[in-house]
A and B are shown apart, each in its own frame.
Chain A
Amino acid sequence: GESVGLHLPTLSVQEGDNSIINCAYSNSASDYFIWYKQESGKGPQFIIDIRSNMDKRQGQRVTVLLNKTVKHLSLQIAATQPGDSAVYFCAENLNAGGTSYGKLTFGQGTILTVHP
């Protein structure tokens, strides 16, 4: 079946470094992708999204890159801070179109740990 997966389950960086979290997806029909941040015991928080007609999108300290050729999504966090420590999930939107956005399928998640 279709799935979204992450290459690295854990990532450990030093404060101030840049972080890159990767995600592979398998459904070429997916047209929308989101990155979420989840802190322990809380619900996921939206970080950034990107549509399939884009290759790159930037937010505050974050950049999402989409490579449709190899079905790969990445989240770059600049100048990583201890407050960025969390689990990061990518999600793809399947069967979007018409009057609804369809469903999101989430990846396994990557644990990011930022050391001061």
Chain B
Amino acid sequence: DGGITQSPKYLFRKEGQNVTLSCEQNLNHDAMYWYRQDPGQGLRLIYYSQIVNDFQKGDIAEGYSVSREKKESFPLTVTSAQKNPTAFYLCASRPGRGQGRLSGEQFFGPGTRLTVL
């Protein structure tokens, strides 16, 4: 089955530690995105990548870093510089305009809930 996987589902981190969240997709999508969701709120864009080896900051990139070395993978690192990292993190992917799709729908993974202890 094609889809997006995120791991782990739950993650606990001590203050001052960096942690990396995994996101993998086998949909052959060009673009990938990371969002943060706080309780009772919408999704805020952290980083996005429209092609391998390229990525751009979203609205709340401070304290986060990403890489896009492979088309299938877009890991997110939450660094110790992120002051309030406890949140639900969602990864998404989207086909590029040249991939034969007419819509701009983003496909979401199941999410990772990060808690800082």
**A residues lining the B interface (CB < 8 Å):** 32, 34, 36, 41-46, 49, 89, 93, 96, 98-109
A109-B94 in contact (CB<8A): no
A34-B109 in contact (CB<8A): no
Across chains A and B, the number of contacting residue pairs, with CB separation under 8 Å, is 64
B105-A34 in contact (CB<8A): yes
13 contacts between A and B (CB under 8 A): A32-B104, A34-B104, A36-B108, A41-B88, A41-B113, A43-B111, A44-B90, A46-B107, A49-B104, A100-B31, A104-B45, A106-B43, A107-B42
Kindly provide the distance from the CB of A22 to the nearest chain B CB, expressed in whole angstroms.
15
* Cα-based distance from A46 to B48 in the complex (angstroms): 19
**B residues lining the A interface (CB < 8 Å):** 4, 31, 33, 35, 40-45, 48, 50, 58, 88, 90, 92, 94, 96-98, 103-111, 113
Assuming the contacts A42-B110, A44-B108, A46-B105, asked whether A103 and B48 have C-beta atoms less than 8 A apart, the reply is yes
A106-B103 in contact (CB<8A): no
* Cα-based distance from A32 to B92 in the complex (angstroms): 17
